[in-house]
Structure 1
Amino acid sequence: MNLDRIRQEFPVVQRCTYLNHAAVGTLPTRAREAVRAYVEDFNEHAASNYRDWEAAIETARSRAARLINATPEQIAFVKNTTEGLCFAANGIDWRSGDNVVLNDLEFPSNVYPWLNLAQYGVETRMVESVDGRLTVDSIAERIDGRTRAVSISHVEFGNGFRNDLAAIGALCREKDVCFVVDAIQSLGQTPVDVEEMSIDLLTADGHKWLLSPEGIGIFYCAPHLTDRLRLYEVGWNSVADAGNYNAYDPTPAPTARRFECGSHNTLGIHALGASLDLLLEVGIEAVQERLRLLTDRLVDGLRDAGYRVLSPRGASESSGIVTFDSPVHETEALHRTLRSHRILGARRGGGIRISPHFYNTEEEVLRVVDALPGH
């Protein structure tokens, strides 16, 4: 990894210490230039080059598929993670008395769509975490003959705990339960393989670790569910014969494009495609290794300074998120102190959440420790 060259993609490093990718990621220069080229083309030529825009959309789709070991036909573009989770929650053919298994570490996006199913008699079962962790056994205990889905984040937003998707996926496959994954906190920082992990449905917005703007994300649907998942949004672009505007034939497209009911967020997709190009060029395994190095340095520094690290740090459970607090200092005061030093993190999970990315340096993450008060 040529760090000097990579950092040229991120002019934000000249302005602040940005360590908040679990909230909103930074936009690399190549993504900015992709957007600029699209906007200038639109401004100067209107839609004369529409076919080029369509080609860019399909290039981004292919890159997204490559990122998770899927095929382009299994990828749809969505507005955000919530929309993808709504596709999942509303797509299952529920019966009164069915249930879905969630947990108490989830962001609301992976809770509300499922709670909304109560009006149809669907029960939401919550797995309780222990010490900020979830176990496969605790999930298995909540599954019974009426469980239709398990929906879980790959990486939990508050403390960065990384769930064992391969083990949970195998459990769901054994129990014939739909396995739904919220991957917004993992795509771009942690390898994901939908085949090896037995994932049925996956969704992620692009504006965090995927280094893209808000308003564009991806939705993966496993082939065996494409025809089984009920559509609750249907439009001109989701049908098989999308180019025939007078046919009025609602037959869905045979691919995941059936989840794209209308016009694309073409600007956002141009940016996402460019950012995916960078991530694939660097390699997600290299990104994960880099983040392990950076977060290990941060954790060691915090502990030496007397701070409590709340994030699980085992090799199989850690991520690029480090959340910590102090036995003495208030979290809000610590947050203000960091901001006064132009160090940007967030208040999450009962403490301060720091989330660097692969372009950050060891010196940058240690600025956090240097800026904090002692004990």
Structure 2
Amino acid sequence: MNDEFRSLFPLTSDVVYLDSAATSLTPTSVLEEMNDYYNKYCANIDRGVHHLSKLASHRYGDTHKKIGELIGCSGKEVVLTKNTTEAINQVAFGLDWSKNDHVITTVMEHHSNFVPWLRLREKGVKVDVIGIKNGQIDLNELKNKITSETRLIAICHASNVLGTINPVIEIGKICRENDILYLVDGAQSTPHLPIDVQKIGCDFYSFSGHKMLGPTGIGALYCKQKHQEKLKPLMVGGGNVSNVTKTGYTLKKGYHRLEAGTPNIAGAIGLTKAIQILNEIGLKNIRKHEEKLNKTLIDELRNLDGLNILNPDIDRTGVISFTIKGKDPHKIALQLDQKNIIVRSGNHCSQPLVEHYNYDKVIRTSHYIYNTQKEIKTLCKELKKLI
């Protein structure tokens, strides 16, 4: 990416930012769009007849539409949430579960697509966790775990530790053949890959704005319209009720019933701008850019003594994790931080996956559209010194 584009991200002039899987940098144009809301038409949505509320409501509603266009669905099937975690919890605790219902998830999940399903065991739901082979979901084990009681399969589109891109379309076919609900965690894929929920064949798809150039505090859940009336809202109150009496209430129809309270209006408007930027660049172009950076980084890391890359040869997003023999990942991350190189160390909210590789923590780099070949080589140069 050229210097003009990088100038939209002021932090890139100060640091080598390689922690985009945790949160991406936010362009100044996104912040300006959010400031315009606060400075020019600040009002609550769907709460008044005045022109400020109407404009804010229109802009908020436009976010549903733009997200739908991005992932291949109707804006009416988009529920705005706080983040991916809230979106997945809305499904996990919005569905009616019966004792002995069965859920299948995987060892490579982020805790946000893992813990909500484990918690269902309190309701008597059976939860199976399938393993991985060579950094990828073991499809044979997945098929073998399916029973007549299997109600839902929940998997990540891409791993936040390995970068693995899972065969979500193939898994979608398996779910349809067995009449199983299908939830995909798209937090690590939506910023990096073209998404079409119709091709994937999922019932639910979730992601967060802050990993795709947007602000924090805004995310989305794709929910097929036929499921919207079946989900119980996580919260009730202002915004998602159409009628209230002393003895009861009536919920609104569609996605409105799942969006209680005053939402993150500015965040939604900022996310719309972020989506516009991604569309202008093109997700296919983002993918090509990351693949080039991946090749450079993996080639360089392979030449460093004692450095072990987790599954270097998989099809991946811009996420690469590794360990260095005899070196503590946290210490390495702190030493890189002193050189203004930002990476993450730890279990990355994927403790079962990291432990699968017999580690308690690893070092993770995650690049994005604002990173350059020069920055990748700077990282490798500093790692070589540390080793």
Q: Which residue of 2 aligns with 1:135?
A: 138
Structure 2-normalised TM-score? 0.88
Q: Which residue of 2 aligns with 1:157?
A: 160
Q: Show the 5 A alignment for 1:43-58.
A: 49-58=52-61
Contact 1:238 1:261 in 2 (8 A): yes
Deviations 1:23-51 (A, max 9, x none): 11111111110122122225799986222
Q: Which residue of 1 aligns with 2:228?
A: 226
CA–CA distance in structure 2, aligned partners of residues 50 and 245 of structure 1: 23
Deviations 1:319-358 (A, max 9, x none): 1101112234332332122111101010144421111111
Contact 1:220 1:256 in 2 (8 A): no
Contact 1:155 1:319 in 2 (8 A): yes
CA–CA distance in structure 1, aligned partners of residues 161 and 61 of structure 2: 34
Q: Which residue of 2 aligns with 1:166?
A: 169
Q: 1:44 to 1:230 in 2, by over 3 A?
A: closer
Question: Alignment partner of 1:66: what SS?
Answer: helix
Q: Any unmatched runs of 5+ in structure 1?
A: none
Q: Which residue of 2 aligns with 1:194?
A: 197
Structure 1-normalised TM-score? 0.91
RMSD: 2.3
How much does 1:308 deviate? 2.0
Q: Show the 5 A alignment for 1:51-66.
A: 51-66=54-69
Deviations 1:184-234 (A, max 9, x none): 1111112221000101101112112x1222211011101332233344433
CA–CA distance in structure 2, aligned partners of residues 158 and 44 of structure 1: 40
Percent pairwise identity: 27
Contact 2:205 2:222 in 1 (8 A): yes
CA–CA distance in structure 2, aligned partners of residues 214 and 26 of structure 1: 10
Q: Show the 5 A alignment for 1:331-370.
A: 331-348=329-346, 349=354, 350-370=361-381
How many positions carry a matched residue from both structures?
Answer: 367
Q: Which residue of 2 aligns with 1:310?
A: 310
Q: Which residue of 1 aligns with 2:269?
A: 270
CA–CA distance in structure 1, aligned partners of residues 65 and 375 of structure 2: 34
Q: 1:49 to 1:99 in 2, by over 3 A?
A: same
Instruction: Name whichever of 256-265 and 226-235 sits farther off.
Output: 226-235
CA–CA distance in structure 1, aligned partners of residues 2 and 151 of structure 2: 45
Contact 2:293 2:372 in 1 (8 A): yes
CA–CA distance in structure 1, aligned partners of residues 286 and 244 of structure 2: 45
Q: Which residue of 1 aligns with 2:350?
A: none
1:90 equivalent to 2:93? Answer yes
Q: Which residue of 2 aligns with 1:372?
A: 383
CA–CA distance in structure 1, aligned partners of residues 288 and 118 of structure 2: 37
Question: Alignment partner of 1:291: what SS?
Answer: helix
Contact 1:294 1:365 in 2 (8 A): yes
Q: Any unmatched runs of 5+ in structure 2?
A: 347-353, 355-360
1:298 equivalent to 2:300? Answer no
